[in-house]
Amino acid sequence: MSDQIHIRREGAAGRITLSRPKSLNALSYDMAMAIDAALQDWAEDDAVAFVLMDAEGEKAFCAGGDIQSLYDHGRAGDYDYARTFWRDEYRMNARIAEYGKPIVAFMQGFVMGGGVGIGCHASHRVVGDSTRIAMPECGIGLVPDVGGSLLLARAPGRLGEYLGLTADRMGAADAIRAGFADTLVSETAWPELKAALVETGDLSLIAEAAETAPEARFAEQQARIDRIFAAADLPAIVAGLEADGSDFAADALKAIRRNSPISMAATLRLLADLRKSAAGIRDALRMEYRFTHRSMQEGDFLEGIRAQIIDRDRNPQWKHRLDSLGAEAEAILAPLGPDDLTF
């Protein structure tokens, strides 16, 4: 475990450092459980004033979950391994979101999927110039999960639908605007800031180190996004993009046409349901788990991983077409009865 994650107490902080830079700090099951155990240990420890989460390497805070093991078990017919991974990971995500002490996350480089789950639910989310945040799950036959659906549902206008369906990447300014991050701090200042936080426990130092974020890239496209992605279903969104004719719409259309139709349809349903109610992190995770629980047998997860990660032919054979989805999205998000996620 020590070669994957470094957990220790240092000054006023409980420190969690992901240490798999060559694997872009991909989150394994053991890493997720180590984070969860540390948070439980520190919850009642008066010597730990806050938790500081960061990662080694310049390329990524965490580029996602370690999906190779999920694929290998799934191909062998073992679906329970992935279900256990997701169930326990989601409980850890909820613990971060609901934690009674401040959690400060420094997120450089790629922050995707599982990285969003451990970094973007923290109470103090610091990003830098290299940060690129995305929810790319629809490209591998999943839905935005690890609580990411809740963040998307709370994003301005229909930006959540756009980001979830296209998997477009957010720089620091857009991540702050979309609600995935809080503060831009120059990455050259991070070592000194971390040291000061650990020494003093004074989290106001983060605001003092903050820089003014530049204009968010998606801000100028917000009206177009709201108009097109407010449509009722995938075919209507595709038709809106085709009719728009802009380069922005053309790029979005290209992304949507390569992603899993059932995943995108379920994502739209997820965001609509979360937006309609005063949903919280547990509601989002419970709904996400209904999809991931079924994703190998009824969805496109194994085919998505084969095409993107294993064979890398980038030619997935999805089970559905964009224009042929009826009740499938509703069915794949239906309650699981005794298998529903509990906390």
Q: Kindly list the catalytic residues.
A: 65, 114, 137, 145
Give helix then strand counts, H and E, for the chain: 16, 9
Nearest CA-CA partner of 13 in 189, 205, 183, 187: 205
Tokens of residue 37, six digits: 């155990």
248, 223 contact by CB (below 8 A): no
Query: Burial level of 322, CB count in 10 A (0-12/13-18/19+)?
Result: middle
36, 75 contact by CB (below 8 A): no
Nearest CA-CA partner of 106 in 56, 65, 150: 56
Nearest CA-CA partner of 39 in 24, 26, 53: 53
Q: Is 336 helix (H, G, I), strand (E, B) or coil?
A: coil
CA torsion sign for 292, 297, 303, 309 is positive
* DSSP output for 179-215: TS--EE--GGGHHHHHHHHHHH--THHHHHH-B----
Distance of CA 340 to the CA centre of its chain: 21
Question: Which residues does residue 104 pair with via DSSP β-bridges, in sequence order?
Answer: 52, 124
